Structure 1
């Protein structure tokens, strides 16, 4: 259809439904051609039962990928048509089963001839076509089972939005954002401590004047993420990665990852060989991000924060 040429791939579902509708209409006419009174939507259930064994509604639903209510409705229609019987007992007599009646089994024998003709007709289309739709559908089904279309679109949305994230050096105009973003997450999970107030009330004096750095992540020019390097007087570590905070509004835009990578590059520019950080394992997304950035868990260092229960390091000489 010309419509799908205009819409492009965004109308994949509509195009598949259009094609499925046409094929279903053709299937009804095919049954008429062979003088078989049969509804096309019954075929998956009918085929499964034609293999010989009686089955439960649940077994059929799992096998054909339909919901149990859908299968129940189809089975009732087929019972009314005289093709299926229910209330059959399993060998352990604990489960109700459904199976084909004699009429249903006889109909299946008639449909075998029809199926052979249909197979040959479809093979002809496959030979005429440039692409094998049957094999392509199987491949698409496999790929979508591995990762759904929703997940794939979410990833593309994240990639697109992350391109609009800019990381800039700290300026006085971002002082309030630096404070409020950090206060937001600290107050959500913990209580503000003395060291927090020192760093957040006057970052210029506490961080920048001592040789540290602060970076700000902007999305559409709005500061939605901050992170700092605090110069350490320590024999092993050069800087502490601290006061990293990302607004909930930035969720799904990779702001944390972009900001983390930027602050690590800043540390390398400053000649740092090792970074140190402190956190709490209750902050699972943050801990996952630190691992993603290459930080490893360490122990044994005193902390000014009561909330700290994990310490990590990043050896920049190996990255």
Structure 2
């Protein structure tokens, strides 16, 4: 049993981060090998653009469950790279809509086959090791449970019931 496995839930976040960094690194390696100028952090945005031509900043924030500020920063980054542009909504000039530029559309067309290969690759891993299959469902369940009761609240409640003094 390695260090990470031996610590169980105590190191859960670190294991997720390590797995995430590995996964993102491998995907970035694929994009680099194929000479596709795509950063994995753009994926959620490009996926939404693959299903919707124009989307508001508020809608992006809501769908991705991240702050409006984070969405604005990413959109500004993508605008600098000339992959998206913003336009005013026809029904409300205060509302900004984001859409892919021709360069963004071209990039989307190049990355969609990679997305299919990513999905197929993970399906192969899942088929070869059936214990991997419930992972996504388990993560979804954990996310729901942590929304119901934040982990910090649970930890602090348990500590309050203990005899340990922190001050």
Partner of 1:89: 88
State yes or no: 1:62 paired with 2:59. no
TM superposition score normalised by structure 1? 0.47
Question: Secondary structure at the residue paired with 2:97?
Answer: strand
Q: How many residues align?
A: 162
8 A Cα contact 1:34 1:114, kept in partner: no
Q: Can you list the C-alpha shifts for 1:2-31, whole angstroms capped at 9, x where unaligned?
A: 331343311111111111111111111111
Question: Secondary structure at the residue paired with 2:31?
Answer: helix
Q: Structure 2: how far apart are the matches of 1:61 and 1:67? A: 6
Q: Structure 2: how far apart are the matches of 1:75 and 1:117? A: 26
State yes or no: 1:99 paired with 2:89. no
Question: Secondary structure at the residue paired with 1:125?
Answer: helix
Compare the two structures and name the one with the higher strand fraction. 1
Partner of 1:134: 136
Q: Can you list the C-alpha shifts for 1:230-251, whole angstroms capped at 9, x where unaligned?
A: xxxxxxxxxxxxxxxxxxx9xx
The higher radius of gyration belongs to 1
TM superposition score normalised by structure 2? 0.85
> How far has the Cα of 1:63 moved from its partner?
0.9
Aligned Cα RMSD in Å? 2.2
2:149 to 123, 147, 150: 147
Structure 1 pair 53–24 and aligned structure 2 pair: CA distance change class (3 A): same
Q: Structure 1: how far apart are the matches of 2:124 and 2:139? A: 17
Q: Structure 1: how far apart are the matches of 2:145 and 2:127? A: 24
> How far has the Cα of 1:56 moved from its partner?
2.3
Give structure 1 stretches of 5+ with no counterpart: 165-219, 221-248, 250-319
8 A Cα contact 2:53 2:100, kept in partner: no
Q: Structure 2: how far apart are the matches of 1:101 and 1:10? A: 45
Partner of 1:157: 159
Compare the two structures and name the one with the higher helix fraction. 2
State yes or no: 1:53 paired with 2:53. yes
8 A Cα contact 1:50 1:100, kept in partner: no
- Aligned counterparts, 1:1-319, within 5 A: 2-86=2-86, 88-94=87-93, 95-129=95-129, 130-132=131-133, 133-159=135-161, 161=162
8 A Cα contact 1:83 1:103, kept in partner: yes
Give structure 2 stretches of 5+ with no counterpart: none
Q: Structure 1: how far apart are the matches of 2:45 and 2:85? A: 13
